[in-house]
Amino acid sequence: MKILSKLTMSLALTSLLFVGCGGGADKATAPAEKTQLKAEITEESLGLRKTDIYSENTTSASKTEYVTADAGTSVKFERAFQDAPPMIPHDVSDFLPITASNNACTGCHMPEIAPAMGATPIPKSHFFDMRPKHNYDGKQFTKSIDNMKNETDVKNLTHMSSARFNCSQCHAPQSQGNLAVENTFEAHYTREGGKFKSSWDEVVYESLDTNGEHSNPTAEDIDLSDSAAGHMDGGH
């Protein structure tokens, strides 16, 4: 009986193996007829460069061109986003270098001149100073504000802040070269006319409460004696 059972099981396994191999062969053969070879990936198609990795001496980037229109004849660029530093739409080769004592940009972009010139006016953000003027008598240095009370020192100026003289630190001519990667970013402006106008002109700096009731930390905030941060040993 045991011998018969073993023989029956052997025959059954043999049948399964035969069917499985036969079915697998059919499945393996069928897709081969529909398989399409993909295009070969070459070294020239990898990355942004279009030459192979062995051609360093003859490989160069696309030439970048900048706007050559004269100031006053160019078309303004839309800002990249609300209050983004506007890009320069005209040639600047005759205006460089820009120094604190020789800044040709102010000749057209000062607020009182810009409308008549058709230029973008320098916003109010360039006419105030947030740098505290500390005291030093040659021996002793004392601060004019209390940092522990979150004090700041905002002063309106009648002239452009000296920290803003270097226009090309934030503003630059726009390249007219072919983009290696197309920019698909879409700006959503938070102010009407935000494509060409700064929202800083709407800020009234005189009303800024930089040292008011809600801007100062309380004595309880400052007292860290019950926290690990208030101890040099980490609270141990």
Going by the DSSP 8-state scheme, the letter that residue 116 receives in this structure is H
Q: How many CA atoms lie within 13 A of 14 on its CB side?
A: 6
Indicate the burial class of 198 (C-beta count within 10 angstroms; 0-12, 13-18, 19 or more): buried
Domain with 179, as residue range(s), is 64-210
In-domain check, residue 133: yes
In-domain check, residue 218: no
Per-residue pLDDT tens over the stretch 177-208: 677 777 888 888 988 889 988 887 766 555 55
Q: How many CA atoms lie within 13 A of 16 on its CB side?
A: 6
pLDDT, position 195 = 92
In-domain check, residue 94: yes
Phi and psi torsions of 60, nearest 5°: -140, 150
Residue 205 is encoded by which pair of tokens? 């700096």
In-domain check, residue 51: no
Mean pLDDT (whole number) for 132-160: 80
In-domain check, residue 126: yes
Indicate yes or no: pTM above 0.85.
no
**Residue 148 belongs to a domain with what CATH number?**
1.10.1130.10
pLDDT at 10 over 80: no
Per-residue pLDDT tens over the stretch 94-143: 898 899 889 999 999 999 999 999 898 998 889 888 777 788 888 888 88
Report helix, strand or coil for 155. strand
In-domain check, residue 226: no
Residue of 168, 73, 165, 84 whose CA lies nearest to 117? 73
Residue 23 is encoded by which pair of tokens? 């079915």
The structural domain count of the chain equals 1
